[in-house]
Amino acid sequence: MPTDQNPADIGSRDGSNSALWMNGPPWLPSPDKWPPNIDIELSTESRAEAKETKEVLATALPMKDEFSELMDKHSLWKTLHVYTWFARFLINCRSPKSRRMKGLLSTDEIKCEETWWTTRVQAEATRSKNFQADKLQLNLQTNASGILECRGSIVGVHSIYLSDDNLYTYKFVQLAHLATLHEGVVLTITKV
* Spatial contact of 148 and 142, defined as CB atoms under 8 Å apart: yes
Give the whole-angstrom CA distance, residue 192 versus residue 168. 13
Give the pLDDT confidence score for residue 60 in this predicted structure: 42
Confidence of residue 122 (pLDDT cuts 50, 70, 90): very high
β-sheet with 159-160: strand ranges across = 140-142, 148-150, 159-160
Confidence of residue 62 (pLDDT cuts 50, 70, 90): very low
Q: Return the number of other C-beta atoms located less than 10 Å from residue 170's C-beta.
A: 21
Confidence of residue 61 (pLDDT cuts 50, 70, 90): very low
Give the whole-angstrom CA distance, residue 187 versus residue 189. 5
With CA atoms as reference, report the closest residue to 20 among 35, 36, 4: 4
User: Average pLDDT in the 149-178 region?
Assistant: 87
39 alpha carbon, distance to own chain's centre? 31
27 contact partners, CB below 8 Å, separation of at least 6: 5, 33, 34, 35
Confidence of residue 13 (pLDDT cuts 50, 70, 90): low
Give the pLDDT confidence score for residue 121 in this predicted structure: 92
Confidence of residue 40 (pLDDT cuts 50, 70, 90): low
- In order, the DSSP letters of 5-57 are G-GGGGGGS----HHHHHH--TTTT-GGGS-SS---SPPHHHHHHHHHHHHHH
Query: Which residues are paired to 149 by β-bridges?
Result: 141, 160
| Per-residue pLDDT at 29 exceeds 60 | yes
| Per-residue pLDDT at 10 exceeds 90 | no
What does each C-alpha distance from 177 to 53, 56, 113, 144 come to in angstroms? 10, 10, 21, 29
